[in-house]
Chain A
């Protein structure tokens, strides 16, 4: 009975801390979000020409009246502040504008591409964490010895390799030379497979992009977890755990790892934004239909509405990810968000 109520207390305290952290971080993030929105709008004003110019250029020619009329239709001839107000009002309703190129609302365009980008970024994050932390653990366990130095160099090489270049080299090796994996796309065109077969098919297409995207993060996490594990092992409470007679393995798993992983996971959460950015090049190379490739298409097509919509969306996603990171950090570390702490 005590154990049950005890766990109830633990959950309650965890919940209350989570709520406190979420509120605090969320409130803190609001002005930042507003700032980013304003910045996006400002950038939009600096864009040379606008969507109408693009359309006119693609149509071959256009009369001045025709362009003026289109501008009026798109609301591009109003004073700046009014446009800002309209912009903000639209944003509040989730309206990011219209893309003349794709002939659909920008928000819908972005929304369609989000899942694929998130899948790729999520897979890359998980892969990077698993491999990075394992490498870091091996390095920490053999601190100063040959394997540690070797893996440190390897991780430094991973950190120095340009992501897009390794993507191309992987294509050369695995697609061109060995023919094991496809060189682009998200699924076999014209495939009618469903369920597990479809999933496996998609996974085949995901392997190379995920590996390319995760490489630099593997380097970062292995270095970080190595340092934090070495530090955790030197803490006093590890000596206490030894004095209890616990085995080294149990000390590592229950005491060292739980403390050492805290900084790693918080850093990983902050990389969500970087992954979305890095995916621009990777998605373009592999033809992966995500936000990154949409950004590339938007740049090439001078569609600044879409481009800034992507910037805005991914920034807001980063803010959301930061709030999540703070919450996870609070769940892992009971010292965070506590209302009281005895001296």
Chain B
């Protein structure tokens, strides 16, 4: 594992501050009050299952929401400036230049009829007034930065001539072309082979340090979170339910959902055999929860009490900087034994 150096994030200023964000598609709320902030130079991971609203949150930061969605409430401040409600031209200036984004499916994310070099140069030319030749040279530099061998020749290739891992590297090159302060990576490795995954994540982390970026890493993979994130936000059904440093979080989960996620993931050295019994799972599934008043996880929670269904538990901040939206597990009698992850 390459050296993952944590920046002194406690002292770093906040780069992106999301406060009580609510996003609705028509009558359905996909995001129901998410708050977190990304500090300069750190890697913040947002983890949750499909349907938790993490991708929608990321798209809203980039102002890339489809027209059927609207930000119903809340604010997103980037470098101190409010970026919800910006008009299209202002939003475009930020997109690609100050905030870059890479997506999940590298196989289809590149225009098949343009060369790879042209697509990178396009990103540069959009935000910087330099000549075409200079942009093409910069594209080759970027290809080298993302460790693509023989960048001069590769720049002339079309996407279909590159493998999935290389296409994702090209995507990264496009996203960091203008030196953004923040890179949003929406499940960047889910569609890649396992061997390529760590290479790509290593690349992202290296670029984070070399280019002084912050990274907002969206994933459903706890392994990635443990290995690469400085802090992690756990999202469930459109709300963040727990926040903290991965080590502390995994050792001592304070929200029943986080606990469920961790116990549901079998570990190799537990030497757990299927004949030993069924795997742990979180009972139930996300149902349509419109109209329910209490905690959204309550129907599936083993520790739910009467108060949980009455009102939404507030996000509590603990002394060590952790935040959790559940008061139950902190009570002594529910504390589980120390959990090594």
Contact = CB atoms under 8 A, between A and B. Distances in A.
A235 B113 CA distance: 13
A262 B92 CA distance: 29
A148 to B, nearest CB: 16
A241 B112 CA distance: 12
A90 to B, nearest CB: 45
| Interface residues of A, dominant DSSP | helix
Contact of A341 (B97, B140, B160): B160
B174 interface: yes
A79 interface: no
Interface stretch (B36-44, B98-106, B241-249, B292-300): B98-106
Given A334-B112, A334-B113, A335-B112, A244 B123 contact: yes
Given A243-B175, A343-B163, A237 B108 contact: yes
A58 interface: no
A10 B123 CA distance: 21
Interface residues of A, number: 32
A84 to B, nearest CB: 47
B113 A332 contact: yes
B253 interface: no
A243 B152 CA distance: 25
B161 A341 contact: yes
A69 to B, nearest CB: 65
B133 interface: yes
B144 to A, nearest CB: 13
Nearest to A238: B111
Interface string B2-43: 000000000000000000000000000000000000000000
Contact of B174 (A2, A244, A255): A244
Contacts of B92: 245-247
A245 B113 contact: no
Contacts of B123: 244-245
Given A237-B112, A239-B103, A245-B127, A3 B62 contact: no
A333 interface: yes
B137 interface: yes
A194 interface: no
A261 to B, nearest CB: 10
Nearest to A10: B156
A242 interface: yes
**Residue in B95, B97, B140, B171 whose Cβ sees the most chain A Cβ within 10 Å:** B95
A342 interface: yes
Interface string A226-255: 000000000111011111111100000011
Question: Which of A240, A259, A342 has the most C-beta atoms of chain B within 10 angstroms of its own C-beta?
Answer: A240
- The 6 lowest CB-CB distance pairs between A and B, nearest first, are A245-B96, A245-B95, A236-B108, A244-B96, A244-B123, A334-B158
Interface of B: 62, 64, 92-97, 100-101, 103, 105, 108-115, 117, 122-123, 126-127, 132-133, 136-137, 140, 152-153, 155-156, 158, 160-163, 166, 171, 174-175
24 contacts: A2-B152, A3-B136, A6-B117, A6-B155, A6-B156, A9-B153, A236-B103, A236-B108, A239-B103, A240-B110, A240-B171, A241-B111, A243-B95, A244-B96, A244-B122, A245-B96, A245-B123, A245-B126, A259-B112, A334-B160, A335-B158, A338-B161, A342-B161, A343-B163
Given A258-B114, A341-B161, 13 more contacts: A2-B136, A2-B137, A3-B132, A9-B153, A236-B105, A240-B171, A241-B122, A244-B96, A255-B114, A332-B113, A335-B160, A338-B161, A342-B160
